[in-house]
Structure 1
């Protein structure tokens, strides 16, 4: 598997408030954009997972806002798997200004895997090929 690349996002005007500062809720959206990008880089995009009947809902979100991001800034978002056991997944995010290299936000999201009936799924047991993709990404980060 190739090395996972950071996700790049240019701040749009609609993401800001009257002071041209990014509204805090948009960081959560950026986490999702970065998560979708990570899954696609892994070769297991959400569209493919859903075709297989696997959902991955968000169980929790945390964000620590360190510095403001403003309209016109470009940020990179590094996404890292913090925990994965085949049933649950925790991802960490670091939002960094592309020009200065300063970290502006850190956060995490927690997920599980469910089948079409809303019951927990063990990727390790039921989808070993998908499980191997997640383990491969975890191995890159160690």
Structure 2
């Protein structure tokens, strides 16, 4: 797998409030965009996962808003797999201003893996390709720490 490129996002007018400041709910959307991009860069995205009958619902979301982001800004959303055990996964995020390189938000999402019937699955047993991909992503994150 080649180097993972951070996800970039230009803040749109509709994402802001009357003061031109990004509404807090949009950071969660950016987390999802970055997570989707991360998986695609790792080799298999959500589309492939769902073709194989596996879904990955969000169990919880956390976001710490450190400073405001304004309309027209470009942010980089870094996404990393922090924890993965074959059944559950935690992804961490940093939203960084592309000009100043200041961190504006940090967060995480927790996920599990289920089949089409809604039953929990172990990727190690049901889809080794995804298991290996996420395990490698976890190792890459730990090697950066």
| Superposition TM-score tier, normalisation by shorter sequence | over 0.9
Partner of 1:97: 97
- What per-residue deviation string (whole Å, max 9, x for no partner) do you get for residues 84-134 of structure 1? 000000000000000000000000000000000000010012211211111
Please say if residues 3 and 140 of structure 1, whose CA atoms lie closer than 8 Å, have aligned partners that are also in contact.
no
SS of alignment partner, residue 68 of structure 1: coil
Partner of 1:8: 8
Partner of 2:117: 117
Query: 1:23: Cα distance to partner?
Result: 0.2
Which residues of structure 2 form unaligned runs of 5+?
none
TM-score computed with the length of structure 1 as normaliser: 0.98
Query: 1:82: Cα distance to partner?
Result: 0.9
Q: Cα RMSD over matched residues?
A: 0.6
1:1-142 to 2 correspondence within 5 Å? 1-141=1-141, 142=143
SS of alignment partner, residue 49 of structure 1: helix
Aligned residues between the structures: 142
TM-score computed with the length of structure 2 as normaliser: 0.96
Query: 1:12: Cα distance to partner?
Result: 0.1
- What per-residue deviation string (whole Å, max 9, x for no partner) do you get for residues 21-43 of structure 1? 00000000000000100111111
Which residues of structure 1 form unaligned runs of 5+?
none
